[in-house]
Amino acid sequence: MPDPNPAALDFLLSRRSRPAKTLRAPAPSREELEPLLRAAARSPDHGKLEPWRFIVIEAGAMPRLADLAETRAHALHKDETDTAKARNQFDQGHLAVAVIEVQKPSEKIPAIEQSYSAGAVCLALLNAALASGWGANWLTGWISHDRTFCETGLGLAEHERIAGFIHIATETNAPPDRPRPDLDAITTWVSQ
């Protein structure tokens, strides 16, 4: 017989990301962030490769990254909307954790499984922040795939890429729930 954890299941059934633009100071301190990072690092990791790492972007680094995002948008001839979106992520940010996918050579663990693991870390960090009472949101966008931004702004190596920016700060108001997938439409049961 399983040993249920109803509180954890209730949390997962009702969890809701908070729009990054609604997050306000304060953000978690280093001491408050460490258990969230520890929880995220417990994500599935076939072969124990640890194909990810964290870069914590504190408030003091946000203006530099906002400026770099705008510079890159102009260099790539992005329109005003794309430019503003990339810049605002950092202009409005108080603390973000960049989850960095670090592909590692392995004969047993395919690259795609390492990508899945990095994605799992993003979701685990997001859920850990929400479960701790913080507001949190997982963002990417074109800026997270721009090599110049990644290398210049965050010092990423050639074999690294951004799986997501997890913005964490104080929730100002919980958004209403949104429509969820129709389980019957996306589930197939195989009995034989």
Q: Is 144 annotated as a binding residue?
A: no
Q: Is 178 annotated as a binding residue?
A: no
Q: Is 81 annotated as a binding residue?
A: no
CA angle 93, 89, 126 (to 5 degrees): 70
Runs of H (alpha helix) within 21-134: 30-40, 62-75, 80-91, 111-131
Q: Is 15 annotated as a binding residue?
A: yes
Q: Cα–Cα distance between 111 and 178 in angstroms, integer?
A: 33
Which residues, including other chains, have CB under 8 Å from residue 18's CB and lie 6 or more apart? 130, 135, 136, 137, 171, 174, 175
Q: Is 46 annotated as a binding residue?
A: yes
Closest C-alpha to 166, from 132, 147, 155: 132
Q: Cα–Cα distance between 131 and 36 in angstroms, integer?
A: 9
Binding-site annotation, residues for FMN: 15-17, 42, 46, 138-140
Q: Which residues are annotated as a binding site?
A: 15-17, 42, 46, 138-140
